[in-house]
Amino acid sequence: MSRKLTYVQAINEAVTQMMDKDSSVFIMGIGVNSPWYVGQSCAGLYERFGDKRVIDTPVAENGMTGVAVGAAMAGMRPIIVHPRMDFMYYAMDQIINQAANWHYMFGGRVNVPVTIRGIVNRGGEQAAQHSQSLQAMFMHVPGLKVVMPSTPYDAKGLLVASIRDDNPVIYIDDRWLYEQSGEVPEELYEVPIGKGVIRREGKDITVVATSYLVCEANKAAENLEKEGIDTEIVDLRSLKPLDNNLVIESVKKTGRLVIADGGWKTGGAGAEISALVVGSAFKYLKAPIMRVSLPDAPAPASSALEKAYYPTAETIVSAVKKVLEESL
Amino acid sequence: MSRKLTYVQAINEAVTQMMDKDSSVFIMGIGVNSPWYVGQSCAGLYERFGDKRVIDTPVAENGMTGVAVGAAMAGMRPIIVHPRMDFMYYAMDQIINQAANWHYMFGGRVNVPVTIRGIVNRGGEQAAQHSQSLQAMFMHVPGLKVVMPSTPYDAKGLLVASIRDDNPVIYIDDRWLYEQSGEVPEELYEVPIGKGVIRREGKDITVVATSYLVCEANKAAENLEKEGIDTEIVDLRSLKPLDNNLVIESVKKTGRLVIADGGWKTGGAGAEISALVVGSAFKYLKAPIMRVSLPDAPAPASSALEKAYYPTAETIVSAVKKVLEESL
Amino acid sequence: MVKTGIPVATLREMYVTMLRIRRCENTLVELLRINEIRCPTHLYTGQEAIAAGICANLRKDDYVFSTHRSHGHYIAKGGDLKAMMAELYGKRTGCSRGRGGSMHLVDPEVGLMGSAAIVGSTIPLAVGTALASAIQGNNRVAVAFFGDGATDEGVFDESLNFASLRKLPVVFICENNLFSTHLPLYLRQPADNISERAQTHIMPGIKIDGNNVLEVYEASQEAIDNARGGRGPSLIECRTYRWRAHVGWPQDYDVGFRTKEEVKKWEKRCPIKAFEKFLAGQGVLSESEKSQISEQIDREIEEALTFARESPFPDESELLEGVYR
Amino acid sequence: MVKTGIPVATLREMYVTMLRIRRCENTLVELLRINEIRCPTHLYTGQEAIAAGICANLRKDDYVFSTHRSHGHYIAKGGDLKAMMAELYGKRTGCSRGRGGSMHLVDPEVGLMGSAAIVGSTIPLAVGTALASAIQGNNRVAVAFFGDGATDEGVFDESLNFASLRKLPVVFICENNLFSTHLPLYLRQPADNISERAQTHIMPGIKIDGNNVLEVYEASQEAIDNARGGRGPSLIECRTYRWRAHVGWPQDYDVGFRTKEEVKKWEKRCPIKAFEKFLAGQGVLSESEKSQISEQIDREIEEALTFARESPFPDESELLEGVYR
Ligand SMILES: Cc1ncc(C[n+]2csc(CCOP(=O)(O)OP(=O)(O)O)c2C)c(N)n1
Ligand SMILES: Cc1ncc(C[n+]2csc(CCOP(=O)(O)OP(=O)(O)O)c2C)c(N)n1
Ligand SMILES: [Mg+2]
Ligand SMILES: [Mg+2]
């Protein structure tokens, strides 16, 4: 089997197949019936499943997220799409106070199998309110799961797993990945939530990366190889629950760690992974842990500044070298 | 000078004096004209300053926060009170997309001198939606400042500094501290934002603590002293900007670190401080860094569970001992 | 059948429900006073006709969402009294396993899907269950109970808009007790016209006497029938008053915006007394029936109390269980 | 003074404003087409009468808040053209130092306080400046411009409620162009009645032809006078249509919910052509004046363009400047 799909096609296929197979799955959100608003990720859904199960909504993120959460309590498996994570701030009460809490707060009597799909849509001079990556905030919240696929294979498999999961899952996809192509089985399959994967084995240093930065990490590793540096790449895939063991075992082997995540630095996902490692594998560490991230600033519009704002393979290469230099 | 006030009186005095002195200061929020809703923190304000500058609002956190933010753009210095941090999820768009971004996004042409006061109000079987501490989320956001006073002196001084600051400041006070009493000068003074303070010097281990857990850390240190363990306590006071140097210098001295913060563990404030230290003082570290925090669970109601949920001096003592045991 | 057109059995059922709520809460007053129950508790006393009148029109599998003031809705929808009492005590046998307390009662088996302490938050959840009904085609109706305070929140309008747009089977019950904590409606909204706001969202919006259970029953019967019949949502604003403080057992005369006279005036309009009088007048509630009901309720409460008191607290080892399913 | 009662100078000013917006955006169409401007750009073409008619009634120190579709408001309020053009190019000399792009135009010196890309978000901000006016007693008026899409958001109702409750000097201008991105109003709200929602918040809510600048001028004059005079807020729903795609330069005929016929119908109702005809009829705009104005505007645009092109990009070293003040 070596059928190739793009990342966005993989998303589309996961939704289509799940809706075909399970009548409790439906999709709602701004632009799910738009020819362009959420890329091609929802193309064809309306035509196939109609107005009942493909609901293009008013611009009311909080209310609409609440509606999805409520439907989940009544046995549905809704997917609520937020075309930009930036819009999700409006919906925080429903995502956190409600969706994340209800199962625990009611002693297990209610559960909320909702998939909350937040799209990272940045670059192109979109500026501060149309660029954000909020994984760190959601990662902080007990009761939520958070996944960030980096490949077409995972985009499909994690979306299937998210829809089937009995808990609220924040599924984060990045438009910078949409045109990447890769092998995607035609049948339904799951990528387990909470399991990372080693994308590349190496012995000198571990780079733990999320989402789009896994691609940049791959490029970085190729460049580093030319200089004789052997990089291990861990693609986290899930930020909550974290695959603690995978990360810790890798660091135990290499003794060095760079974390590459596309959110802001302070209080970002990298902070947690660093703290995890220093709490559990301190003895194995040979060098300070470095974080590759956004700087602590809002996203600027001007492409002249965007270039400096978004981390790339080069940023990862520099961080790796710095860690190696500072090794004990 | 040795006048004593309680923590809540110190808050009240800061607001009263600032409103006396600066006609651009006003206060709004749910319960600011209630005899009981926000403790005594707003007592007497309405009687003194009247309906124009003491605005008890409808239950509409997002809109009302936006109103405060807008007023700040027009030269006012509003204080918007959220009687529980849990309610702030409704207002995230205004706090983050708007207040935090506007200065940067408009190239410095507009600024937002608003104080957003979020009260931590937990315990007493209030359960998951009436118990939260959201400092980690706000700490993640560029453009916001975050302060958490632990003493009556700081409660006043940091509130004055927050009101005078030209940026949006999240001022977080904890009702568990309201009845603590301490020296508070009568005159107006500022505690600088971004500066922590050593509450107790020690050579064996550093405990970095925030807000209420500073008090627990003090108790822990006394107990530890009896066992011959000499604890240094850093009261962060500000979480953003962080007093990096103070923390790092302390760890350089002691080589060991426990962080005690009252938010959830994963992705909490402790993660950032751990990552900061491991990034900047790795060579000095003699042991893994431990975090004292809430467990990764929503707050339960039953006092039987609350007891296990909230960290105390004992939790800190255990963490310190564990770090000492695991020292290289 | 009396002249209201409401079956006698239903009348009696509503009466029992109202009395059960009242008695239960009277017991709570004592338990709160002596601190035997410690969680924040918002008493429904004075508003009983609303929960009773509406739930009498609901099927067991219809959905109800409640608020921080949840006892009335829980009891009226048929929630288990023992599990409620145990919940208030923070016991493992509580309906929420001791994790929710008074603000978070739940009993999905009778359609009480949950109660939340964030003002306004359950309104879209109710709409969501109605959407599920519409998709599943099972004609279950959803009811969102909420206070006048919740209509300050924008999510109220967002929810009504969507429900109306898609003609979902949901009924919005606004219990307008004229206050949000200490603050009266007239200091929060420019007019006292919640039902009209529903009309601009293109659904019936009516204002009724929430202390008259007959009026509540009849108005909600129509609204629920319309919802079930696919004719879309409605809002019913039930005018009422809470007798006690916003939270806890005391009265809150003369603290802030309420006067003793105002409270006393509303106490005179007791929904239960009025209904008793009506029933007696119709000859459907004899004195002996009354005392039989009364004794039965007292027994139930006593049993629930014993159950709650004798139940174990959750063990600390349970703390991290069930964050996820 | 012509028969409208509007001073000739004002009529001419509004005409110049409308034409300036249109010409400016026509230029942008070309620059977007060749990718010389790259930021997401939402053209105001077709809606010019609204910004022009309203801002003609505002003082320089009155507050205006805008949206992602901000060019018209910025220009009408007197924002600097060079700084705008430079902003669209992402240059350091842009009104937002190159950090905002088209969605974030600002010029506080003329009261254009900012434009935001989050739908609905600037409505409470405008109310906040009005609150500041009320506290400061300086009778500055605030205007919130927003689209029909923003009325889907609950914050719209929260803002109107509070403004009305306190009778704040704010005017809500809803530019109802019948769409929110691709989705028409009738698929988002059960009725086309935004102005009525304002009425339930107890303020005047009127519906006018947003393509008729005279109507806009007169309606907003009254609303602004009322606000300034302490008589409280109003909402004006201006019916209009955007000619181009939601974002970018193309037309969006027949992609989704818009037909070519519909767009063409609205193009025939061009606010500028209609106004030119009116002015000519009134004898206040001769052909020579027209071409003089036209040349003047072209010159301004040319100058702004040259300024923008020649301005430097921000330096990478500026990236972290000004996160805080
Ligand atoms: C989002 C939010 N804001 C504020 C509060 C604090 N609060 C608790 S109950 C309440 C009053 C709500 O009034 P209403 O909805 O009329 O219900 P009632 O208490 O009168 O039954 C408020 C403001 C809250 N729980 N949630
Ligand atoms: C909170 C939020 N949700 C969704 C979007 C995506 N979005 C951008 S513009 C727009 C349409 C808004 O429509 P309207 O307010 O009528 O303004 P118009 O574009 O028609 O001028 C939407 C939904 C957004 N920017 N912000
Ligand atoms: Mg009420
Ligand atoms: Mg529109």
Query: pLDDT for B203-236, tens place per residue?
Result: 999 999 999 999 999 999 999 999 999 999 999 9
* pLDDT computed for residue D2 by the predictor: 54
Asked if A50 is an interface residue toward chain C (Cβ–Cβ < 8 A), one would say no
Residue D152 Cα to ligand 3 midpoint, Å, equals: 25
Average pLDDT of every residue of chain C: 97
pLDDT higher than threshold 60 for residue A1: no
pLDDT higher than threshold 90 for residue B35: no
> Using 50, 70 and 90 to split pLDDT, how confident is the model at C1?
very low
Q: Contacts of residue A60 in chain D, CB cutoff 8 Å?
A: 152-154
Residue C118 Cα to ligand 3 midpoint, Å, equals: 13
Q: Which residue has the tokens 């795609």?
A: D245
Q: In percent, how much of chain A has pLDDT > 70? A: 100
Atom of ligand 2 nearest to the CA of D69: 21
**Mean pLDDT calculated for residue range D271-291:** 95
Alpha helices (H) in chain D, listed in sequence order:
8-33, 48-55, 71-76, 81-88, 122-136, 154-165, 194-200, 213-228, 260-268, 271-281, 287-310
Q: In percent, how much of chain D has pLDDT > 90? A: 96
> Using 50, 70 and 90 to split pLDDT, how confident is the model at C254?
confident
* Residue A20 token pair: 């075909």
Phi and psi torsions of A54, nearest 5°? -130, 100
Q: What is the pLDDT of residues A215-269, one digit of tens each?
A: 999 999 999 999 999 999 999 999 999 999 999 999 999 999 999 999 999 999 9
**Mean pLDDT calculated for residue range C124-144:** 98
**Mean pLDDT calculated for residue range C51-77:** 98
pLDDT higher than threshold 50 for residue B132: yes
Residue D152 Cα to ligand 2 midpoint, Å, equals: 10
Q: How far apart are CA D70 and CA D21, in angstroms?
A: 11
Q: What is the pLDDT of residues D32-66, one digit of tens each?
A: 999 999 999 999 999 999 999 999 999 999 999 99
* pLDDT computed for residue B36 by the predictor: 81
* pLDDT computed for residue D252 by the predictor: 84
D contact chains, 3+ CB pairs < 8 A: A, B, C
Q: Contacts of residue D130 in chain B, CB cutoff 8 Å?
A: 70
Q: In percent, how much of chain C has pLDDT > 90? A: 96
> Using 50, 70 and 90 to split pLDDT, how confident is the model at C2?
low
Helix (H, G, I), strand (E, B) or coil at B38: strand
Contact state of D161 with C189 under an 8 Å Cβ cutoff = yes
Asked if C135 is an interface residue toward chain A (Cβ–Cβ < 8 A), one would say yes
Q: What is the pLDDT of residues B74-122, one digit of tens each?
A: 999 999 999 999 999 999 999 999 999 999 999 999 999 999 999 999 9
DSSP one-letter string for C179-231: EETTEEGGGTSSSS-HHHHHHHTTS-EEEEETT-HHHHHHHHHHHHHHHHTTS
**Mean pLDDT calculated for residue range A261-283:** 98
From the list C181, C313, C323, the residue facing B296 with the nearest CB is C323
Asked if A192 is an interface residue toward chain B (Cβ–Cβ < 8 A), one would say no
Find out whether the beta carbon of C149 lies less than 6 Å from any atom of ligand 1: yes
Q: What is the pLDDT of residues B305-325, one digit of tens each?
A: 999 999 999 999 999 999 999
* pLDDT computed for residue A2 by the predictor: 82
Average pLDDT of every residue of chain D: 97
Atom of ligand 2 nearest to the CA of A130: 25
Q: Contacts of residue C155 in chain D, CB cutoff 8 Å?
A: 154
Contact state of D322 with B109 under an 8 Å Cβ cutoff = no
* Residue B122 token pair: 């937990």
Q: What is the count of residue pairs from A and D with beta carbons less than 8 Å apart? A: 122
Alpha-carbon torsion D298, D302, D307, D308, what sign? positive
Integer angstrom CA distances of residue A74 from A67, A137, B241, C170, D148: 11, 27, 44, 14, 32
Phi-psi bin for C78: left (phi > 0), alpha (psi -120 to 50), beta? left
Asked if D85 is an interface residue toward chain B (Cβ–Cβ < 8 A), one would say no
Contact state of B125 with C90 under an 8 Å Cβ cutoff = yes
**Mean pLDDT calculated for residue range C244-270:** 91
Q: What is the pLDDT of residues D218-271, one digit of tens each?
A: 999 999 999 999 999 999 999 999 999 999 999 888 777 899 999 999 999 999
Q: Which of C168, C76, C184 is nearest to C123 (CA)?
A: C168
Find out whether the beta carbon of D150 lies less than 6 Å from any atom of ligand 2: yes
Q: Contacts of residue B302 in chain C, CB cutoff 8 Å?
A: 90-91, 94, 98-99, 101, 313-314
* pLDDT computed for residue C252 by the predictor: 84
From the list C153, C165, C203, the residue facing D188 with the nearest CB is C165
**Mean pLDDT calculated for residue range A54-61:** 98
Contact A246, A209 (CB under 8 A): no
Scanning every residue of chain B, which has its alpha carbon at the shortest distance from the alpha carbon of C149?
B59
* pLDDT computed for residue C3 by the predictor: 63
Atom of ligand 2 nearest to the CA of D180: 13
Contact state of C324 with A106 under an 8 Å Cβ cutoff = no
Scanning every residue of chain B, which has its alpha carbon at the shortest distance from the alpha carbon of C186?
B58
- CA C279 to chain B, closest CA, distance in angstroms equals 39
Asked if D184 is an interface residue toward chain A (Cβ–Cβ < 8 A), one would say no
Q: Which of D68, D172, D183, D239 to mutate to test the pocket of ligand 2 (most atoms within 8 A of CB)?
A: D68
From the list D188, D318, D320, the residue facing A58 with the nearest CB is D188
C contact chains, 3+ CB pairs < 8 A: A, B, D
Find out whether the beta carbon of C73 lies less than 6 Å from any atom of ligand 1: no
* pLDDT computed for residue D255 by the predictor: 76
Q: How far apart are CA B122 and CA A137, in angstroms?
A: 21
Average pLDDT of every residue of chain B: 97
Catalytic residue among A13, A82, A103, A130: A130
Interface-testing mutation among D70, D80, D91, D125, with chain B (most B C-beta atoms within 10 A): D125
Find out whether the beta carbon of C181 lies less than 6 Å from any atom of ligand 1: yes
**Mean pLDDT calculated for residue range B177-192:** 98
- CA D5 to chain B, closest CA, distance in angstroms equals 33
Find out whether the beta carbon of D68 lies less than 6 Å from any atom of ligand 2: yes
Cβ-Cβ contacts under 8 Å for D58 (sequence gap 6 or more): D64, D77, D111, D141, D143, D224
Helix (H, G, I), strand (E, B) or coil at C13: helix
Measured from the alpha carbon of residue A63, the closest ligand is 2
Cβ-Cβ contacts under 8 Å for B187 (sequence gap 6 or more): none
Atom of ligand 1 nearest to the CA of C148: 16
Q: Contacts of residue A303 in chain D, CB cutoff 8 Å?
A: 38, 90
Find out whether the beta carbon of C150 lies less than 6 Å from any atom of ligand 1: yes
Does the ipTM surpass 0.95? Answer: yes
Q: What is the count of residue pairs from B and C with beta carbons less than 8 Å apart? A: 121
> Using 50, 70 and 90 to split pLDDT, how confident is the model at D1?
very low
